[in-house]
Amino acid sequence: MRLDRYLVPMPDSYHMTPDEFRQRGAEMVEWIARYMERVESYPVMSTVKPGEVRSQLAPHPPLHGEAWDDVMSDVDDVIMAGITHWQSPGFYAFFNGNSSGPSILGEMLAAGLGTQGMSWVTSPAATELETLMMDWMAEMLDLPPKFSSHSTGGGVIQDTASTSTLVATLLAREKATDYASNRSGLEPGLAAYTSAQAHSSVEKAIRLAGIGSDNLRLVAVDDTFAMRPADLAQAMEADVSAGLTPALVVATVGTTSTLGMDPIRQIGEVAATHNAWLHVDAAWAGTAAICPEFRHLHDGLELANSYLFNPHKWMFTNVDASAFYVADRAGLKRMMSVSAEYLRSAESESGEVIDYRDWQISLGRRFRALKLWFVIRHYGIEGIQHHVRRHVALAQDLAERVRRHPDLELAAPADLNLVCFRHVDGDAASEAILERVNSSGTAYLTHTKLDDRYVVRVNVGQTHTEQRHIDQLWELITG
Amino acid sequence: MRLDRYLVPMPDSYHMTPDEFRQRGAEMVEWIARYMERVESYPVMSTVKPGEVRSQLAPHPPLHGEAWDDVMSDVDDVIMAGITHWQSPGFYAFFNGNSSGPSILGEMLAAGLGTQGMSWVTSPAATELETLMMDWMAEMLDLPPKFSSHSTGGGVIQDTASTSTLVATLLAREKATDYASNRSGLEPGLAAYTSAQAHSSVEKAIRLAGIGSDNLRLVAVDDTFAMRPADLAQAMEADVSAGLTPALVVATVGTTSTLGMDPIRQIGEVAATHNAWLHVDAAWAGTAAICPEFRHLHDGLELANSYLFNPHKWMFTNVDASAFYVADRAGLKRMMSVSAEYLRSAESESGEVIDYRDWQISLGRRFRALKLWFVIRHYGIEGIQHHVRRHVALAQDLAERVRRHPDLELAAPADLNLVCFRHVDGDAASEAILERVNSSGTAYLTHTKLDDRYVVRVNVGQTHTEQRHIDQLWELITG
């Protein structure tokens, strides 16, 4: 009989008991606290060679469970050498991916609860706290009212800016085709626009959405690396003349290479003449709008159809948490919602609740609102303002030193927290600076190219970066 | 002067110190351990009304930071009432999203390190441990060799099955158009195929990829709810005759409604005659292949181009972690890779390393391999096998009780761990059972419809479900 096949005698549970978790959890907290204390003592960039980590680990999965201490020994002896320390105050590379105590606690609680908030019913608190956090952040950044859940729009946590931008691109595609792409398939003829300094995620989204990178126009920038609205208008008109439909314009508030600031208002006015979707990518710089003195960067944002910024960059919240806002939540739901009997609930049918599964590509989702709630309540608005201002002040200090140094020159405006510079002797000399700094182990810088010249980028935005780190960095740069 | 504007006197840091984190982290571990001990005492489904959670929380973000104890009081007093307890042994709804002690510890460490593994250089250990884990799991499930990183393919952690299936759909689209969609935009004319019992994520992927839901054929199923290969062949031939190109077939190993098992080998042979991409979605049931006696479910998998299963469902690993495998990693990279100067590194150029940013939609990524490593080393293969077998045995016990009960009947085969049944008196009586069970607070079941009749689903797969829970559930069902 079928049943008997399975009812063989079995050993006890292999699960970790709550008491074992108590012990190992306490040890892990101590491990993390010690890591926080000592993070500066590690070389910021890992120095392992390709394959070195893997070669020291067991090539095959274990048949029998292993002792926890052996696992943690491998963390200390093998994994740690292969970590590039994003939480080191010497991390000035790319844009930061900052963590903080309250954020880690939020991740712990989310993992401990283990909820999956795809629908309101599958954990009402996960949905309602997320809606509240998105509204809180809209208020903190003084976003236009239409992005609030109290209006026609609303926000949702996506994993990263790339995903937020893909969702915006898909929305633009559907709007341009009256939702026919979803249903009957995409027809050729759409075009999209962004600046030559936009993030690579825009091209990726255009490709994945089926619009095709040949139909993405990279509009020229001015000498502050901001998109030229006149060039945008020209490109859109040329496409219309050629029979194409301008579907999407992506403006950037804080480009990756230089923190170039596209003029949203002028761009939005151009986009509107062609009824194109305006998406604003403020992945890094959006957080600055928590300070009134930086809100001018968002001027014209009421013209946008969608907007993103990443709390997981500058708002001391662990990766991943990209805050994505739309002005028309009904359109998002129309595009994303697929009915399935096994997902139906009375609450969903009522229309009274939000099911975030219809606001994103994924169905399942973690309870990421907790870490945002913990961070905002721990710091308060003034705490986040303080540290954002502090980073900007430190960057301004560094920029001023560059300006005064005879051998260095700024390669882009340094109005916020990113300093781009080069050596007056040319690329080799600039590259030598980066090599020297990075090989010191004390700091990690990355580069970009501007007007085909090699440029060193210093993004001053790590949670714990202070004056003494900038002083140390300056010695390495000029040493 | 610009500099002076920023150098105003400032208060001290608002960051949580390592010592504060020590204290609050220890409290959080204790909180989670107590939650583990008491999870059965909560009603499985939250009983809050729409808006009830939000209405008890501050409508506006705080200007000043708040005391940690106040934050945690709100967790206890407000959030907990709005939690549906996925970690309760009485959770039989949907498919489980299981957690476990070692997995929570893995999430803690990932959050504490705060790395972002978009590229090999940005944390070599994050990349190399992920490659190793994907190879370990391929070995544990005895997947075809082509999915290993030692061959032409490899695996990558995506957030959810929906995303994995979207990536597979995009790959199919690009293969069918020789990567022209990416470049010059999608032309109409592609068709895709899955069974009428496939997950809603397939339709969502087809829509988002621009193929259009009108071009998705829902192939009929047999009386075990498995796709009929002959009907698939017919649908593909009809489309070819109509001038369409069959691009993608999605087969399911363990459908959501009934755990229907599509015959991969026969489906793969049909797909191959049209050179269509074969993607296999084994989100839930894939984990069963860790037990040799269930590996027949994967028979024919060597014909697949891509495959997914979700460790975050049945493998005791926190959401999110979907294991996505491709046979041709070069094609994935070709589709996803977008060059950007600021992302370049010598290691990436060398071709010696994997940059997982080119294997997914997102750029940024958490260190999710840690939780998989912790889970696999804690349980060992035999520990996971034990609990998978235990769940299957418990489900078989329940199925046998249904078979023997005069008023109940199985609505689908119950070969693995999902039991679908209905009351012989019809839908109202079936629905009454679900209402009775769910309103008890002791268990949470969901429903589906089969042949237009209401069916109660019991997925026996929660980490801690044991015989006594099934006994209790049976009393509620028959009570």
Computed over its alpha carbons, how large is the radius of gyration of chain B?
25
What percentage of chain A reaches a pLDDT higher than 90?
94
Dist CA B29 CA A202 (whole Å): 41
Look at B10 and A390 and tell me if their CB atoms are within 8 Å: yes
The residue in chain B having the minimum alpha-carbon distance to the alpha carbon of residue A97 is: B116
What percentage of chain B reaches a pLDDT higher than 90?
94
pLDDT digits (tens, 9 = 90+) for A244-257: 999 999 999 999 99
Residue B370's Cα: distance from chain center in Å?
Answer: 17
Chain A closest CA to B296's CA: distance in Å?
16
pTM above 0.80, yes or no: yes
CATH of the domain at A329: 3.40.640.10
Q: Is A41 on the interface with B (CB under 8 A)?
A: no
A349 band by pLDDT with thresholds 50, 70 and 90:
confident
Q: Which residues contact B299 (CB under 8 A, 6 or more apart)?
A: B263, B264, B265
- Residue A320: asked if its preceding bond is cis (omega within 30°), the reply is yes
Position B306 scores a pLDDT of 98
pLDDT digits (tens, 9 = 90+) for B306-340: 999 999 999 999 999 999 999 999 999 999 999 88
Dist CA A385 CA A402 (whole Å): 26
Do residues B353 and B127 make contact, with C-beta atoms less than 8 angstroms apart? Answer: yes
Residue B174 structural domain = 115-366
The separation between the first and the last C-alpha atoms of chain A, rounded to the nearest angstrom, is 80
Position A7 scores a pLDDT of 46
Exposure of B70 by Cβ count < 10 A (0-12 exposed, 13-18 middle, 19+ buried)? exposed
Position B7 scores a pLDDT of 46
Position A11 scores a pLDDT of 54
pLDDT digits (tens, 9 = 90+) for B47-85: 999 999 999 999 999 999 999 999 999 999 999 999 999
Closest CA to B374 of B37, B34, B107, B154: B107
Look at B381 and A63 and tell me if their CB atoms are within 8 Å: yes
Give B-chain residues touching A380 at CB under 8 angstroms: 14, 61-66
Q: Which of A22, A104, A122 sits opposite B30 (nearest CB)?
A: A22
Chain A closest CA to B300's CA: distance in Å?
24
Q: Which of B100, B110, B342 sits opposite A448 (nearest CB)?
A: B342
A8 band by pLDDT with thresholds 50, 70 and 90:
very low
Exposure of A106 by Cβ count < 10 A (0-12 exposed, 13-18 middle, 19+ buried)? buried
User: How many A-B residue pairs are in contact by the CB < 8 A criterion?
Assistant: 554
Residue B207 lies inside a defined structural domain of this protein: yes
Residue B357 lies inside a defined structural domain of this protein: yes
Q: Which of A6, A59, A114 sits opposite B318 (nearest CB)?
A: A114
Do residues B410 and B142 make contact, with C-beta atoms less than 8 angstroms apart? Answer: no
pLDDT digits (tens, 9 = 90+) for A401-418: 999 999 999 999 999 999
For B259-270, what is the mean pLDDT? Answer: 98
- Provide the chain B residues 139-158 that lie in CB contact (below 8 A) with chain A: 139-140
Residue B100 lies inside a defined structural domain of this protein: no
Is the pLDDT at B88 greater than 90? The verdict is yes
Is the pLDDT at B343 greater than 90? The verdict is no
Q: Which of A99, A183, A257 sits opposite B213 (nearest CB)?
A: A183
Give A-chain residues touching B160 at CB under 8 angstroms: 362-365
B11 band by pLDDT with thresholds 50, 70 and 90:
low
Q: Is B413 on the interface with A (CB under 8 A)?
A: no
Is the pLDDT at A10 greater than 60? The verdict is no
What's the total number of domains in chain B? Answer: 1
Is the pLDDT at B200 greater than 50? The verdict is yes
Q: Which of A66, A86, A316 sits opposite B115 (nearest CB)?
A: A86
Residue A323 lies inside a defined structural domain of this protein: yes
Q: Is B335 on the interface with A (CB under 8 A)?
A: yes
Look at A347 and B83 and tell me if their CB atoms are within 8 Å: no
A345 band by pLDDT with thresholds 50, 70 and 90:
confident
B341 band by pLDDT with thresholds 50, 70 and 90:
confident
A348 band by pLDDT with thresholds 50, 70 and 90:
confident
Q: Which of A26, A319, A384 sits opposite B116 (nearest CB)?
A: A319
Chain B closest CA to A414's CA: distance in Å?
11
Q: Is B179 on the interface with A (CB under 8 A)?
A: no
Position A224 scores a pLDDT of 97
Beta-sheet strand order (sheet of A216-219): A154-158, A322-326, A306-309, A277-281, A245-252, A190-195, A216-219
- C-alpha distances in angstroms, A91 versus A43, A260, B124, B128? 10, 21, 16, 22
The residue in chain A having the minimum alpha-carbon distance to the alpha carbon of residue B354 is: A50
Look at A46 and B94 and tell me if their CB atoms are within 8 Å: no
CB atoms within 10 A of CB A3: 12
Is the pLDDT at B4 greater than 80? The verdict is no
Residue A478 lies inside a defined structural domain of this protein: no
What percentage of chain B reaches a pLDDT higher than 70?
98
Do residues A280 and A289 make contact, with C-beta atoms less than 8 angstroms apart? Answer: no
Dist CA B416 CA B435 (whole Å): 25
Residue B44 lies inside a defined structural domain of this protein: no
pLDDT digits (tens, 9 = 90+) for A74-110: 999 999 999 999 999 999 999 999 999 999 999 999 9
Is the pLDDT at B288 greater than 70? The verdict is yes
Exposure of A242 by Cβ count < 10 A (0-12 exposed, 13-18 middle, 19+ buried)? exposed
Residue B419 lies inside a defined structural domain of this protein: no
Look at A94 and B122 and tell me if their CB atoms are within 8 Å: yes
Dist CA B258 CA A138 (whole Å): 43
Q: In a mutagenesis test of the A interface, which of B2, B4, B7, B15 is the best target, namely the one with the most A β-carbons within 10 Å?
A: B15
Position A5 scores a pLDDT of 44
Position B394 scores a pLDDT of 98
Q: In a mutagenesis test of the A interface, which of B294, B363, B410 is the best target, namely the one with the most A β-carbons within 10 Å?
A: B363
- C-alpha distances in angstroms, A270 versus A144, A176, B281, B427? 19, 16, 44, 57
Residue A378 lies inside a defined structural domain of this protein: no
pLDDT digits (tens, 9 = 90+) for A267-316: 999 999 999 999 999 999 999 999 999 999 999 999 999 999 999 999 99
pLDDT digits (tens, 9 = 90+) for B97-152: 999 999 999 999 999 999 999 999 999 999 999 999 999 999 999 999 999 999 99
Look at B163 and A362 and tell me if their CB atoms are within 8 Å: yes
A342 band by pLDDT with thresholds 50, 70 and 90:
confident
Is the pLDDT at A128 greater than 60? The verdict is yes
Exposure of B219 by Cβ count < 10 A (0-12 exposed, 13-18 middle, 19+ buried)? buried
B359 band by pLDDT with thresholds 50, 70 and 90:
very high
Q: Is B162 on the interface with A (CB under 8 A)?
A: yes
